[in-house]
A and B are shown apart, each in its own frame.
Chain A
């Protein structure tokens, strides 16, 4: 078990998963009945390179408290897309900082189609970050207030 949400916790984690790498890897985690917290929502994508900075901000604004980008890493089937994705993350971080959002709430990782343990570890790490920081709404309010 990668982590256990507490009774009081009401945080949500979003996992952006690639159709060819991490999505089957996350399926394999479930197939093996390896548990992780249920407040984890997986959305599939051909490649997370498609998301503009504003998408991540939208997620935080709506109450997503942590985002894992489970990319294919350098094994991406699309030429150069991982490098393009990695180059965008600092820009997202800059916008997060401007909104008072801890950049620890967004992490770019590479998860393959058999990476069950790596997935659990990343979820567990992000779960710990969310537990420590609490809901993102608190942070955003603090800055905008």
Chain B
């Protein structure tokens, strides 16, 4: 057997098992029966790369037992060739040089399993996307490159060790954080699949922001009816627990087995409350009503709308003074002013985060915001247009219907450095909020229908009615006489108060639709189409270590390859916690997240890829530097190891369930005791040695 290039590594040391005595160092060896298979891909590769030459060169490499080129490696014929060779020649590693591993890595791992080999002894070499397709006019150079990539793959394959998937016993319960439309959808889908579900909502009421709307586009369903139908289905699930006024305050564990501490604040009101109106009316406190986006007031004991879920008032402990007036009005029954929270702990196999979004709140003076009661945000106008809202559906200012309205798009969205000032949070919001164009046009159409004498001016940068059945809102607005004006990316409309003039506000815009004409629009009302902002979920981020994008939304691992999955195994993202979405998209994302949780927790165990950190205890001296490099709680820690009889010393050990396999710990180790299994530094060095082993001859495009 050939001598192995790397220092010894001990696979057993990667598990979270009890401290072990340092194992005997076994002299390492390089695998010497590598099977190499070069794919023609029906000409996709072989029209450019000389596959015969690549196979011949591979056959001459140390440790290669067989090298073949085959028309389609992924075909039955190709797969059978590997299985046959494993059995006839006793192959100990397999390299397939073909298309990108993203396509067939899993296929070939299964082939090895069928042949009786550990699936992780397979290694791909990408000679289609990264050779024949990238260098179609340089066949000699592409062939030379393909050979180099095969040499590198063989060199690494020779050093691969068998790996086993990491397995954790699965708790068949899911926690859904957030009781808005996405959280409700996810909870319902999960419960219907037979999982136990705990749904927690921070506020006293379910339904989230959707309940603040009268209708939802593009179906124009009554919003609260829609949400309450969903809630009724959720409540009908026997295996589902709903906890309002509940927050996650601690979280430990890992996929399959998280331990979560929940803090529930008492509602203050129970079903014995007979006359809720009297109790609410007795409360002397008056604060801005968040349900109406601040355009109305509410008491400290309140209910956002009749028939809310739960259909019971709640006490806002932050504004309640404990005066007891409501208790007196209620005859001492049904209200309890004790507000001490209680903590409970639950075990859960997976977590769906559906914490929703916030609206952008403009700076004071941004488009005149907060300098006049005639400058409102679109969410505030939604409340006014709602027949069950604070104005009974009347859009009136000082008792009069506006004669003329300007609606301004992209407020707090698509912000540009040096053009826009950062928002009140000090950040520029560079992304498109996606939902506000259609929402603005929906409101414009409602206003034109309800008040045909009111002129509506729509000031936009781009109209992005991107979704199915959304473009008709734009067409309808045009037909309904909404006047469109378009401002350039680097020019914003201005809003000024015009005291004493016939119209109290003046909006000035340089309109690119009329070739840059500066237009002054006198109006009674300005509506700011504010964007979608990431909600502050700092506590949850700190507890879970879920990555956050530069825009402040939680990141999914990959929008196409692994949508709705966060990088934390077992933590799924549903709805606007991850990006601006409309109700349709939020519920789709929620269903996707629920489906992934269901698949994850389907068996008795959760299985994860074995590419996690590993410590060589014969090298580790217990310095502890790696602990500082790792950002994931519990992934790497110190434990006492008996290095010789009666002598205990500290050594690093990796918990393979909590480790994410990022490798941040690897370079922190001064004695190179750490590696990520399957991605070891010595394996990389062997690849580099192999790539550079032969001089470049083709060089040019030849």
Contacts and interface: CB of A to CB of B under 8 A. Distances in A.
Given A26-B129, A38-B144, A38-B145, A55 B663 contact: no
Contacts of A33: 133-134, 136
A43 interface: yes
A100 interface: no
A113 B560 contact: yes
A20 B141 CA distance: 28
B701 interface: yes
A139 to B, nearest CB: 16
Interface string B94-135: 000000111000000000000000000000001011110111
Contact of A42 (B126, B546, B661): B126
A29 B133 CA distance: 9
A31 B679 CA distance: 26
Interface in B642-663: 660-663
Given A24-B102, A80-B631, A84-B664, A38 B128 contact: no
A35 B134 contact: yes
Interface in B535-581: 545-547, 549-550, 555, 557-558, 560-562, 567
A35 B134 CA distance: 5
A59 B141 contact: no
Interface residues of A, number: 53
A49 B555 contact: no
Contacts of A75: 547, 549-550, 555
A46 B611 contact: yes
Contact of A20 (B126, B557, B684, B701): B557
A64 to B, nearest CB: 6
A47 interface: yes
B547 A77 contact: yes
B269 interface: no
Given A7-B699, A50-B667, A35 B611 contact: no
B133 to A, nearest CB: 4
Nearest to A84: B664
B676 interface: yes
A101 interface: no
B126 A27 contact: yes
Interface string A64-91: 1000000000111111110010001000
Nearest to B149: A41
B684 to A, nearest CB: 6
Contacts of A78: 547, 567, 631, 660, 662, 664
B491 interface: no
B446 to A, nearest CB: 38
B557 A77 contact: yes
B388 interface: no
B686 to A, nearest CB: 10
A38 B135 CA distance: 6
Given A26-B129, A77-B547, A79-B631, A10 B688 contact: no
Contacts of A12: 691-692, 696
A20 B102 CA distance: 10
A74 B547 CA distance: 9
Contacts of B131: 30, 38
A4 B701 contact: yes
Contacts of B148: 41
A35 B137 contact: yes
A63 interface: yes
A85 B52 CA distance: 41
B545 A79 contact: yes
A20 B567 CA distance: 11
Nearest to B124: A44
Nearest to B132: A30
A5 B700 contact: yes
A42 to B, nearest CB: 5
B667 A88 contact: yes
Contacts of B679: 45-46, 50
A87 to B, nearest CB: 11
B480 interface: no
Contacts of B588: none
A31 to B, nearest CB: 6
Grouping DSSP codes into helix (H, G, I), strand (E, B) and loop, the B interface class, with mixed when no group exceeds half, is loop
Nearest to B128: A30
A144 interface: no
Interface in B681-702: 681, 684-685, 687-689, 691-692, 695-696, 698-701
Contacts of B199: none
A126 to B, nearest CB: 15
A58 B687 CA distance: 11
A113 B550 CA distance: 17
Contacts of A14: 688, 691
Nearest to A47: B662
A20 B558 contact: yes
B584 interface: no
Interface in B347-395: none
A29 B662 contact: no
A53 B667 contact: yes
Given A46-B611, A59-B688, A80-B631, A39 B696 contact: yes
B230 interface: no
B195 interface: no
Given A41-B152, A46-B676, A49-B662, A55 B681 contact: yes
B700 A6 contact: yes
B138 interface: yes
A33 B672 CA distance: 40
Given A31-B133, A79-B632, A50 B100 contact: no
A50 to B, nearest CB: 3
Nearest to B139: A38
A93 interface: no
B666 interface: yes
Contacts of B523: none
B257 to A, nearest CB: 21
B142 interface: yes
B629 interface: yes
Given A39-B699, A45-B679, A58 B133 contact: no
A64 B690 CA distance: 12
B375 to A, nearest CB: 35
A105 to B, nearest CB: 14
A9 interface: yes
Contacts of A44: 101
A78 to B, nearest CB: 4
Given A38-B144, A46-B611, A7 B700 contact: yes
Interface in B134-191: 134-138, 141-142, 144-145, 148-149, 152
18 contacts: A6-B700, A7-B699, A10-B696, A27-B100, A27-B129, A37-B135, A38-B141, A38-B145, A41-B149, A42-B126, A47-B662, A52-B681, A75-B549, A77-B547, A77-B557, A78-B567, A78-B662, A79-B545
List of 4 A-B pairs having minimum Cβ-Cβ separation, nearest first? A50-B663, A77-B567, A30-B129, A52-B667
Given A30-B129, A64-B688, A75-B550, 4 more contacts: A10-B696, A12-B692, A50-B666, A62-B688
